[in-house]
């Protein structure tokens, strides 16, 4: 006990010295000392008084008003304008980076101890000033009840990565980890760990937020109203600490029908429409509509149930049987990139693998070696995406060419998710993971992971994930990442198909729109002419 108390005192003394040291710094400073990282950022912005309303047509409704319970694209698109995390994900030269946001300064004191200093003069939408107790309560709540937060901030055994959060003063906290965890900063950038007022976190400690009056963050927009299945309205937060948006009122129209979204942007009732099909791009362009597209993090794949198809030769054969180039060209009109790894190349440390080139003879040879013939496989597909249904039909044709019959089963999306990730009752299933970091993407395939629909299991792979999380040397960690990706690619628990493009349509009067690869619109610089 005496040693524990002594360690706590040492940490507090070091932290106090660091905080005093911070007062001398007001400019941007980055340096590295061995494996210890210290980063400070200062942001300056110009001010504009040119404000306009903006309307965005989206394809799906939000599933929650609680950022810690958010799981879908619409959830993060909308609530991500209201809430912010300690760190922010930005796209720079085609790669994702994780930069300090609500955090002004952070330092890794040792392998398991980190100190974070919060920016001054950040206010919530209710007028309360952000402090360290808000951060502590938010992170603890996320670890407790957030579906994604629990995955991000817990280890493979389900134990919290953060063993203790100590508030030093109103702007500084110390995170004590149960073990070294190198992806910590990446995971603290995910909106599932977003910060809310302490009193809101404690009010909903064991349940989701159920009142829009309690949807309170530090983001550039305030939550105004929500009409289920119809629209969501946000308003510019004039007290926002960073660059204030040029948008006075932000309205999201919920239009599941693709034709309705296209009509909305053509008629002018919407300024921007998301979820545009490659089939509609030419029509929109010919009508003077601007098209934005970026290769997304969504890796479209055909998951292979490894319990039902344990022979890796069969799974590799399925990969050789599919002409990915033809699918991208003919089905997607070029609005995708052929998968050359187990996750999107926008993440740091993603390596290019040896491709499974289209080779019917090779596929048949592998099936013959494995004694796999005269089989019928059930292929599950969600009805949420018309393009995925078309893809299922194409996959069916390719597999028929190597002697495998497939029965396509279309399912409503919620039932599909339950069947694949809850019951694991399928042979093949089409879906597309959309991770926020490379490590998070790789944990999908860990033994017994909640998102491991195919029930893939490889102890060597699992051990590599543990080694990656604890390896503080960047060069050695990069090699471990490479080895893990090679194993997963070779074991083929899925048919790796393509990285889907995110396509957004906008009126030509919209300027400065950016898109993040996980289908979030960046409105920081948007102007409406």
**Six token digits for residue 239:** 């007290």
Q: Report how far residue 68's alpha carbon sits from residue 195's, in angstroms, rounded to the nearest whole number.
A: 9
In angstroms, the CA 183 to CA 165 distance is 18
**Cβ-count burial of 323 within 10 angstroms (0-12 exposed, 13-18 middle, 19+ buried)?**
middle
Spatial neighbors of 210 by CB under 8 A, at least 6 apart, are 65, 204
CA angle, residues 453, 382, 497, in degrees to nearest 5: 65
Q: Dump pLDDT digits (tens) for 462-471.
A: 999 999 999 9
Within the chain, how many helices (H) and strands (E) appear? 16, 23
Structure tokens belonging to residue 318: 């399925």
**Contact, 444 vs 431, CB < 8 A?**
no
pLDDT value at 47 more than 70:
no
Element (H, E) at 258: helix 258-267
**Mean pLDDT, the chain, whole residue set:** 90
Q: Which of 323, 284, 239 is nearest to 497 (CA)?
A: 323
> Residue 154 — pLDDT band, cuts 50, 70, 90?
confident
What are phi and psi for residue 369, nearest 5 degrees?
A: -60, -35
Q: Could you report the per-residue pLDDT of 60-99, keeping only the tens digit for each? A: 999 999 999 998 889 999 999 999 999 999 998 888 999 9
Provide the pairing of β-strand 113-118 with 162-169. Answer: unpaired
**Predicted TM-score of the model (pTM):** 0.85
Instruction: Specify the 3-state DSSP secondary structure of 110.
Output: strand
**DSSP letter assigned to residue 474:** H
């Amino acid at each position: 006990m005496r040693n524990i108390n002594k360690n706590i005192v040492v940490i507090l003394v070091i932290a106090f010295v660091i905080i005093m040291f911070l007062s001398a710094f007001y400019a941007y400073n980055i340096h590295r000392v061995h494996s210890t990282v210290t980063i400070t950022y200062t942001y300056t912005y110009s001010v504009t008084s040119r404000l306009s309303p903006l309307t965005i047509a989206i394809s799906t409704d939000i599933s929650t008003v609680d950022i810690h319970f958010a799981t879908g694209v619409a959830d993060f698109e909308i609530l991500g304008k209201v809430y912010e995390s300690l760190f922010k994900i930005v796209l720079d030269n085609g790669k994702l980076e994780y930069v300090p946001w609500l955090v002004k300064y952070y330092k890794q004191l040792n392998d398991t101890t980190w100190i974070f200093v919060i920016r001054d003069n950040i206010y919530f939408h209710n007028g309360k000033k952000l402090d360290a107790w808000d951060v502590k309560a938010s992170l603890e709540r996320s670890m407790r009840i957030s579906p994604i937060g629990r995955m991000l901030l817990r280890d493979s055994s389900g134990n919290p990565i953060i063993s203790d959060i100590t508030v030093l003063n109103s702007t500084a906290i110390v995170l004590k980890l149960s073990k070294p965890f190198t992806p910590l900063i990446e995971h603290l950038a995910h909106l599932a760990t977003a910060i809310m007022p302490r009193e809101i976190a404690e009010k909903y400690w064991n349940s989701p937020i159920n009142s829009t009056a309690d949807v309170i963050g530090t983001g550039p927009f305030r939550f105004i109203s929500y009409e289920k299945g119809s629209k969501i309205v946000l308003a510019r937060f004039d007290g926002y600490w960073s660059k204030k948006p040029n948008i006075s009122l932000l309205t999201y129209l919920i239009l599941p029908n693709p034709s309705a979204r296209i009509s909305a942007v053509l008629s002018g009732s919407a300024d921007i429409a998301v979820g545009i099909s490659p089939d509609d791009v030419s029509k929109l362009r010919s009508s003077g509509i601007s098209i934005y597209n970026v290769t997304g993090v969504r890796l479209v794949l055909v998951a292979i149930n490894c319990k039902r198809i344990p022979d890796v030769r069969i799974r590799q054969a399925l990969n050789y049987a599919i002409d990915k180039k033809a699918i991208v060209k003919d089905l997607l009109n070029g609005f995708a990139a052929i998968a050359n790894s187990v996750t999107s190349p926008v993440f740091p440390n993603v390596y290019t693998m040896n491709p499974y080139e289209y080779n019917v003879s090779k596929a048949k040879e592998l099936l013959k070696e494995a004694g796999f013939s005269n089989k019928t496989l059930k292929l599950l597909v969600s009805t949420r995406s018309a393009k995925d249904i078309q893809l299922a039909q194409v996959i069916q044709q390719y597999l028929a060419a190597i002697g495998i019959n497939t029965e396509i089963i279309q399912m409503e999306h919620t039932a599909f998710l339950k069947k694949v990730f809850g019951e694991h009752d399928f042979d093949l299933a089409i879906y597309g993971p959309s991770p926020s970091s490379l490590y998070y993407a790789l944990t999908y395939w860990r033994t017994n992971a909640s998102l491991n629909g195919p029930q893939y299991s490889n102890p060597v792979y699992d051990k590599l994930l543990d080694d990656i999380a604890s390896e503080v040397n960047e060069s050695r960690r990069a090699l471990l990442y490479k080895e893990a990706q090679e194993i997963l690619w070779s074991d083929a628990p899925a048919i790796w198909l393509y990285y889907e493009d995110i396509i957004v349509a906008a009126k030509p009067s919209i300027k400065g729109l950016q898109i993040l690869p996980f289908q979030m619109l960046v409105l920081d610089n948007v102007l409406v002419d």
